[in-house]
Amino acid sequence: MIVLSYASMEELHTLRKKIENRMQQAYLDENLDIPYVDDYKLLLLQTLFGQANLPDKQQTDYIVTIMLIQIALDTHDLVIRKTKADETADERVDRQLTVLAGTYYSALYYKILAELEDIDMVALLATAIKEINEQKMVLYYDTASAAEFFHILRRMESTLFYAAASPFIKTKELEPLVDYFIISRLNQEAFMNEPTPITIRLGIILEQNQSTLTVTEAINQELEEASARLTRNLRTMPQVYAAAARKLLLQGKRQEELYLEEG
Amino acid sequence: MKLPMIYSYLKKDLDKIEDAMTDIIRAEHPVLEDASVQLLRAGGKRIRPVFVLLSGKFGTYELPRIQTVAVTLELIHMASLVHDDVIDDAELRRGKPTVKAKWDNKVAMYAGDYIFARSLEYLSNLKEPRAHQILSQTIVELCIGEVEQIRDKYRIEQHVKDYLRRIRRKTAILIAASSRIGAIASGAPLAYERALYRYGYYVGMSYQIIDDVLDFTASEADLGKPAGGDLLQGNMTLPALLACEDDAFRERLMKAFRDPEQLNQEKLQPFIQHIKSSDAIERSLAMSDRYLQKAYQELDKLPPTRDRNTLKQIARHIGKRSS
């Protein structure tokens, strides 16, 4: 549960609703699970664009657009590597609609920005999507160790957000936030009840390396290390980002504990 | 006459488009690059770039601008094909292994997404918001069309109108958009732009109906897969829908569709034979021809140039194609 004031919670809820409304497609909604919308990514986007002095509508449109891309990318990750030979009719429909849902959400991003006549943002985000797909190939096919895996995952999770913010905010200012993204992603993985593409791939790597760690232990270890790095960076980042980062770090922790670690 | 002969005078420009596509799909990751190149080499008729180029001739034809649109439209089509192969679990496309067969579903997903992103990145060189609005709306509708195709599988009780709406989204609007955006990129007058859009739309409808007819009538060698594939997958195309006006046939097909897992090529043979021997094929072709006539009427709104004539010949060729 995210720790926010009532007004901020309302704002996040409104943003979430706008994303869900945009994604609505009767047959997809009927047949697929509701995509995961990461509140912490929403919170950070709200913070980033809040710093950019943009009109409210533009801020909202950007946030909805970027989250749609994130959801599209995540949805396509859910397509299984090999179609099962004994696939049932339901599994087949699920696979087929997962492909189409990802493409549909991705098309919506383009539509929103085209309606805004924001062609430069289309280009910027398309470049980020291109890079993320390159990174996905490395993540799922080339990573040989858990350290390498988490390194690529960190880059992959931050690329879209850095690209979106780059016209308004100096990239240097965002660098200390890099661990924010991997923490929110790993929290998302922990939220899922069943193996995800990320945990499956990590499991394979750990097995290949004959690691004594389980997938959960490796994720918890990375979460601790990333949280420690982000905590150290709180002092060097602008106050508004530090406030958002503290909210992420506070999950399951008492405020005082965090201050102790920062100190 | 073979289709490329009709527009042979565009060859130089089409070659440049092919070169640009090869450049654009280059990726850093070797597998992503190989998968994209494999897709490109699988070829295809490149009919969308042809429509873009020809439409661009009705305004100020500046190849770099027109090329941007032509490359993008073809790459978006390619990206949709690589994803379609995952949807259909297809092993072969045009007789060659699909990306998902040579690598796996994930590589196909990432290659498709990569190519889609590259194409939008490239099209952003064209600062014409209207072109982007039309294309983005087209892609959204294309997705909805495919979702509806899955929804409507094995559903006998559907109207010809459902089928037409589906193929409008699945095929016609991308060809229509190709023609329209080609015209926009060249600054062609609005009246020409609209006529070209409608021409593309009608040709696209006709093209898809003929494709659906050929799925029953063409040989396995011509199709590169066994005939009747659409019906085997539960897709109710126009010939099947028209044949279902015969109550006995509809009942038999409904019974067969109740257990799709048990359907196979052999069990479908009597159905395919029935459709082929009924008037469903002839009536489907007549409907395709009506769309072609409408396409010709739109061309009458354009100035009488060689390019208008080429568009007419392409439409005529589509109406007569046998593979």
Contact check, Cβ <8 Å, B105/A104: no
Q: In a 3-state reduction of DSSP, which class is residue B318?
A: helix
- Candidates A130, A136, A139: best to mutate against B (most CBs of B within 10 A) is A130
pLDDT at B142: 96
Q: Is B144 on the interface with A (CB under 8 A)?
A: yes
Return residues 254-273 of B near A (CB < 8 Å).
260-261
Contact check, Cβ <8 Å, A104/B89: no
pLDDT at B168: 97
Q: Is B133 on the interface with A (CB under 8 A)?
A: yes
User: pLDDT digits over B272-315, tens only?
Assistant: 999 999 999 999 999 999 999 999 999 999 999 999 999 999 99
Which residues of chain A are under the pLDDT cut of 70?
A: 1-7, 252-263
Whether complex ipTM tops 0.95:
no
The CA-atom distances, in angstroms, between A204 and each of A31, A76, A186, A214 are: 30, 20, 17, 11
Residues 6+ apart with CB under 8 A from A133: B32, B110, B113, B114, B117
* CA gap B37, A55 in Å, rounded: 43
Contact check, Cβ <8 Å, B86/A25: no
Residues in A closer than 8 angstroms to B126, CB to CB, are 119
Q: Is the pLDDT of residue B155 over 70?
A: yes
pLDDT at A4: 59
Residues in B closer than 8 angstroms to A73, CB to CB, are 113
Contact check, Cβ <8 Å, A114/B136: yes
Q: Is A115 exposed, middle or buried, given 0-12, 13-18 or 19+ CB atoms closer than 10 A?
A: middle
pLDDT at B295: 98
Residue range B191-212: mean pLDDT, rounded: 97
Q: Tell me which chain A residue has its CA closest to the CA of residue B154.
A: A89
Q: How confident is the model at residue B93 (pLDDT cuts 50, 70, 90)?
A: confident
* CA gap A96, A92 in Å, rounded: 6
* CA gap B290, B91 in Å, rounded: 35
User: pLDDT digits over B29-64, tens only?
Assistant: 999 999 999 999 887 889 999 999 999 999 999 999
Residues in A closer than 8 angstroms to B85, CB to CB, are none
Q: Is the pLDDT of residue B180 over 80?
A: yes
Q: Is B102 on the interface with A (CB under 8 A)?
A: no
pLDDT at B133: 98
pLDDT at A259: 54
- Other Cβ atoms closer than 10 A to B87: 23
pLDDT at A2: 59
Residues in A closer than 8 angstroms to B28, CB to CB, are 134
CATH number of B3-320: 1.10.600.10
Contact check, Cβ <8 Å, B120/A126: yes
* CA gap A51, B213 in Å, rounded: 58
Tally A–B CB contacts below 8 A.
Answer: 132
Residues in B closer than 8 angstroms to A80, CB to CB, are 105
pLDDT at A252: 54
In angstroms, the separation between the Cα of residue B204 and the nearest Cα of chain A is: 21
Return residues 189-228 of A near B (CB < 8 Å).
none
Q: Is B142 on the interface with A (CB under 8 A)?
A: yes
Contact check, Cβ <8 Å, B32/A79: no
| Helix and strand numbers, DSSP H then E, in chain A | 13, 0
Instruction: Give residue limits of the domains in chain B.
Output: 3-320
Residue range B81-104: mean pLDDT, rounded: 92
Question: Pick from A27, A77, A108: which is nearest to B140 by CB?
Answer: A108
Contact check, Cβ <8 Å, A126/B118: yes
Contact check, Cβ <8 Å, A127/B135: no
Residues 6+ apart with CB under 8 A from A18: A60, A64
User: pLDDT digits over B224-235, tens only?
Assistant: 677 888 999 999
Q: Tell me which chain A residue has its CA closest to the CA of residue B25.
A: A130
pLDDT at A3: 56
Domains, chain A: 9-257 (1.10.600.10)
Q: Tell me which chain A residue has its CA closest to the CA of residue B234.
A: A89
Q: In a 3-state reduction of DSSP, which class is residue B92?
A: strand
Q: And the tokens for B82? A: 């690589």
**B73 phi/psi in degrees, rounded to 5:** -60, -40
pLDDT at A263: 53
* CA gap B42, B47 in Å, rounded: 14
Contact check, Cβ <8 Å, B121/A126: yes
- Other Cβ atoms closer than 10 A to B190: 9
Contact check, Cβ <8 Å, B104/A110: no
pLDDT at B261: 84
pLDDT at B105: 97
- Residues forming a β-bridge with B92: B97
Q: Which residue has the tokens 């070659």?
A: B15
Q: Which residue has the tokens 């309302």?
A: A10
pTM of the complete model: 0.93
**Cβ proximity of A51 and A34 under 8 Å:** no
**CB pairs under 8 A, 24+ apart, for B39-47?**
B39/B78, B39/B81, B39/B82, B39/B99, B39/B111, B39/B115, B40/B78, B42/B93, B42/B94, B42/B96, B43/B94, B44/B77, B44/B78, B44/B94, B45/B3, B46/B14, B46/B17, B46/B18, B46/B74, B47/B3, B47/B175, B47/B314
Residues 6+ apart with CB under 8 A from B308: B299, B302
The CA-atom distances, in angstroms, between B225 and each of A109, B228, B319 are: 36, 9, 22
Q: Is the pLDDT of residue B236 over 90?
A: yes
